[in-house]
Structure 1
């Protein structure tokens, strides 16, 4: 009996992924045997955020993603404001994050994003007291105005004069990073500047975001990120 060659297997896999992606374009990802909706996820991995938003819009703001069998990757996503308020505020104690969540986001330590119970309530009260403080509002307005006036506007003027093409996503990420660092630490990293410097801390955060994404997107058996 002849064995199936590697090229034939490769063609079959590519065709399988293409069909999975094609089906997801017409609606929600197709739930295949064994691999679940993973094929559709791989097909749209280059635009995963847009794809997730479109799926949630088509499914009434709540969608159950079925991962590959035996991989513990089923995920329920919702953008319904009532659901979000119920889960994140009014009935938060009924939705503990658990050890798996903390393992996935271990880089965040014991902060509010990983906290449960009394620790979460205390951190939430502390955060709300700071955010609702008029002094914080004035400081936020001052920091943002100064960074836009002395950082963003001069940068855009320089790029316009040079006739350069620029990635606006990178520009606004740098603006957000500088503003956040000023608010949290009082230190301006000057990530938003004409030289477009590579700031090690900003690069490290991008690496962390990518690692957390792959922890969501890939079965744990494929590797430890």
Structure 2
């Protein structure tokens, strides 16, 4: 079947690829909203020339278009007639994530593109398989587990690993890549709480492990598959095991060996000690009757992706924003100083201003800036746009956080107070936005199970760092760093900082 498809497509590719790759060069200049227009579409190649011209500003470029489009929704035409709908309309987001949930799923384009990396893990599957994984995983997020996570796992990682590293750097004035530090921290945390396994990745050594490098490569290469003009390009490279697809195969092999090791060791523990069966998420999966190694390995990889990259991404931009907004940092410090030095679960829960500041940071810099669903059947969106079966619809979370119609004229300000109101007793209360206006954690049946766990972890980290240190980014970061995304967002080039001891 694949060979027959190539016979038909190869002549077409030879005709179109010179146009796609050599007629234009990426435009390195930043666009402004004054010259933003809905991209032109041409026969055969769609809007590929416009897409290619924006270089590594894809997230921002699409965001600008969403904001000028009627009903905050537009069609992006891809090569060979493929159509993608991009939206920032809360009514449309509610339509696809809740009202018509069964019609908008992780379609074949999405699942096949990520299958080598994520397999049939919870973020790359639908139906009964998704329901089963979600049901088993949900036990990990009850109050008892959250308390254990904050008071044992996060606090131990802070006290024994992160704080000593930061303290040491205050003496040496060593420049740290804080994005990398946060990824290491959250990786240790997710492995300990979900798998009962300590990878000990957060160490004074700046050297990246083979697994960490492989995970980063697999995430980036899998994500870049979506950006190619035609899927057949990556499929051909995979078929002949060349270029990026060769590296992806090597990376996935490294990742699966690492994940398999975690699974095998957990199976051994369970065999030797029956009391472990309900102590962590991995134990519950292995005790559920679905203990096939490949299946459970897919689950391990998906939860590493969720726990490591999204939380660290949120914190990276949060600490950059604190540096840019010292007033907010002072308010957070006041809140921290009212708590005990070793915050327990109940104290972390009451960090209302910090919670608001984190929500505000993720409004501007969401860990997952865009997410897509595929229409299973024909449909009509609330604004009247007709959706054909197989169409990909992407809701642009990053764009929605920058829409004046949703957040007011001061949308560009980092303003935690927009999430707060007086509770009537002289205290501030957090007031959440509806999840369709603020779909940072998705919404509807697929809303993120780990939302509260993420907030509790982030608040405990912020308290542990801000109470003792001042994070000072390198001067060149005063100019806005580039926001990029490979499944989850990153600060391009890392987040180099110097750590100063806070003078009380």
Partner of residue 85 from structure 2, selected from 50, 53, 76: 76
Contact 2:46 2:80 in 1 (8 A): no
Write the distance in 1 (CA, Å) between the matches of 2:87 and 2:163.
Answer: 37
Note the C-alpha offset of 1:137.
0.6
Contact 2:149 2:193 in 1 (8 A): yes
Deviates more, 1:50-59 or 1:148-157: 50-59
Note the C-alpha offset of 1:146.
1.7
Note the C-alpha offset of 1:64.
3.6
Quote the residue 2:100 is aligned against.
91
Quote the residue 1:134 is aligned against.
143
Q: From the superposition, tell whether residues 42 and 12 of structure 1 become closer, same or farther in structure 2 (CA, over 3 Å).
A: closer
Note the C-alpha offset of 1:25.
7.8
More strand by share: 2
Partner of residue 217 from structure 2, selected from 207, 221, 224: 207
Partner of residue 185 from structure 2, selected from 175, 179, 194: 175
Deviates more, 1:33-42 or 1:215-224: 33-42
Higher RCO by CA contacts (8 Å cutoff, separation 6 or greater): 2
Q: From the superposition, tell whether residues 24 and 31 of structure 1 become closer, same or farther in structure 2 (CA, over 3 Å).
A: farther
Note the C-alpha offset of 1:98.
3.0
Contact 1:93 1:117 in 2 (8 A): no
Matched, 1:161 2:171: yes
Structure 1: give runs of 5+ residues left out of the alignment.
Answer: 1-9
Q: From the superposition, tell whether residues 181 and 129 of structure 1 become closer, same or farther in structure 2 (CA, over 3 Å).
A: closer
TM-score, normalised by the number of residues in structure 1: 0.75
Query: CA-atom RMSD, angstroms?
Result: 3.3
Write the distance in 2 (CA, Å) between the matches of 1:24 and 1:212.
Answer: 30
| Equivalent residues in 2 for 1:8-157, closer than 5 Å | 13-14=24-25, 17-18=26-27, 22=31, 26-27=35-36, 30-33=39-42, 35-56=45-66, 59=69, 62-67=73-78, 69-70=79-80, 72=82, 74-78=83-87, 80=89, 83-106=92-115, 107-131=117-141, 133-141=142-150, 142-157=152-167
CA deviation profile, 1:53-85 (whole Å, cap 9, x unmatched): 555455566454332x2173x433445555445
Write the distance in 2 (CA, Å) between the matches of 1:155 and 1:196.
Answer: 11
3-state DSSP of counterpart to 1:113: helix
3-state DSSP of counterpart to 1:176: helix
Quote the residue 1:5 is aligned against.
none
Note the C-alpha offset of 1:209.
0.8
Structure 2: give runs of 5+ residues left out of the alignment.
Answer: 1-20, 236-244, 246-504
Write the distance in 2 (CA, Å) between the matches of 1:100 and 1:53.
Answer: 22
Write the distance in 2 (CA, Å) between the matches of 1:147 and 1:62.
Answer: 44
TM-score, normalised by the number of residues in structure 2: 0.37
Write the distance in 2 (CA, Å) between the matches of 1:123 and 1:183.
Answer: 17
3-state DSSP of counterpart to 2:123: coil
Q: From the superposition, tell whether residues 78 and 170 of structure 1 become closer, same or farther in structure 2 (CA, over 3 Å).
A: farther
More helix by share: 1
Report how many residues are paired.
Answer: 211
Q: From the superposition, tell whether residues 32 and 19 of structure 1 become closer, same or farther in structure 2 (CA, over 3 Å).
A: farther
